Amino acid sequence: MEVLFSFLIASVLLTLSPGPDLLMVIGQSIENGLRAALIFILGLMTGLCGHTLLLVVGWAQFVGEQPQIISIMKGIGFVYFSFLGWKSIRRHYRYKFNESEILSPPKRHYVQGLLMNLINPKVSLFFWLFFPGFLFTNDQPIAFQYAVLGGLFLLQAFLVFSVVAYFSSTVKAFFNRYPMGLINGVLWIGLGVYLLFG
């Protein structure tokens, strides 16, 4: 139990550390509101489920040993996130002149969160490097322990991101004076550059 508690504390601290996921949750909350941010978070959580599954079946280690796969995924991620950034910036200027335009459907926010996690090989590599240090018993298969750790990481990430989204959405009115669509677009493009060169 001490190992699991230590893992939980470390996971919360890592989730709270400034990074792409946290910044995008804040950006979604401020630009599109709490509901959109929660849908985006559900996409992120589904992506984490995928990475946990990859870890359980050993795929994360395989990806870590194949630099060409990582390079391809980084390239795809860069193109996709840059495209989202361009769309957000374009939408910002379209809203500026056409405020009657409807917002993106909820499905789009979910897919953005899902793909943001799934096509980021750094998440799989992070799980592969981070989780083995918190294996908690010799009586259970490693795959089962990875599944438990993945479930704990998923739970705390959902709670942390949801709280951050809630508090970010409460200051939405304050940030309305800023071009949040433009800022969100820059964040998406920055995420793509970070993924490609980070």
Task: Tell whether the model's pLDDT for residue 99 goes beyond 60.
Answer: no
Does residue 87 lie in a domain region? no
Cα separation of 165 and 113, whole Å? 14
Does residue 193 lie in a domain region? no
Cα separation of 86 and 89, whole Å? 5
Does residue 188 lie in a domain region? no
Considering its fold, how many domains does the chain have in total? 1
Structural domain boundaries enclosing 140: 20-70+106-180
Rg, C-alpha atoms of the chain: 18
Does residue 185 lie in a domain region? no
Does residue 194 lie in a domain region? no
49-90 pLDDT, tens digit each: 998 998 888 876 666 566 776 677 778 878 877 887 787 787
Find all residues with CB under 8 Å of 61, minimum gap 6, and list them.
128
pTM for the model stands at: 0.75
Does residue 147 lie in a domain region? yes
